[in-house]
Amino acid sequence: MILSLAGDPGSGKTSVAKILAERLGYRWYSIGDLRGKMAIERGMTLEEFNKLGETDSSTDTIVDDYQKKLGETEDGFIIDGKLGWHFIPHSFKLFLSCDVDEAAHRIFTSHLAKDGSRDDEKAAETVAEVRASLDRRIASDVMRYQKHYSLTVRDPSHYDLVLDTTHCSGPEETAEKILAILKEKGLV
């Protein structure tokens, strides 16, 4: 089985993917990490790299081709990225949503706990700065995926399961809910 896990920034997508991969004994692939490395290699932040992607589709097609190949050649993995469900249509498709204000708070708090931001992001001084960055990131994602693929990522009809993580106590709780549903469906 392949699980494709998409979601809003700050919904817990990456943390949940790591937990699920560990519990299921699956490999985990992060498209966000791959895009972040590509941004760093170009001397850019992820936000700048996404902005470039609005006019240069290769910033997306490189990782999209990578996802397609994984879906054609491997099994038993989790892919954490916005379009895994599209490029691996035979995957079990999950989407995690989260209120954007809660997401901004989570991201800001997480970065403080890690003593700074990710290497591919500018450090934010306030939750409001994180929120503004999320708004720009979401707008860029929406524009790029619509322009390049005529897709709306947040359309729930694309997914086998949509969970709102806004009020979850953390990624462990979300992962437990997903595992219970997968067991109920006889998938694990």
- Model's pTM, two decimal places? 0.86
pLDDT digits (tens), the chain, 188 positions: 999 999 998 999 999 999 999 999 999 999 989 988 999 999 998 889 988 988 888 888 899 999 999 999 999 999 999 999 999 999 999 999 999 999 999 988 886 545 444 555 667 788 999 999 899 888 888 888 898 889 988 899 999 999 999 999 999 999 999 999 999 999 98
**Spatial contact of 42 and 49, defined as CB atoms under 8 Å apart:** yes
Residue spans of the domains in the chain: they are 2-184
CATH number of the domain located at residue range(s) 2-184 in this protein = 3.40.50.300
- The confidence score (pLDDT) of residue 110 equals 81
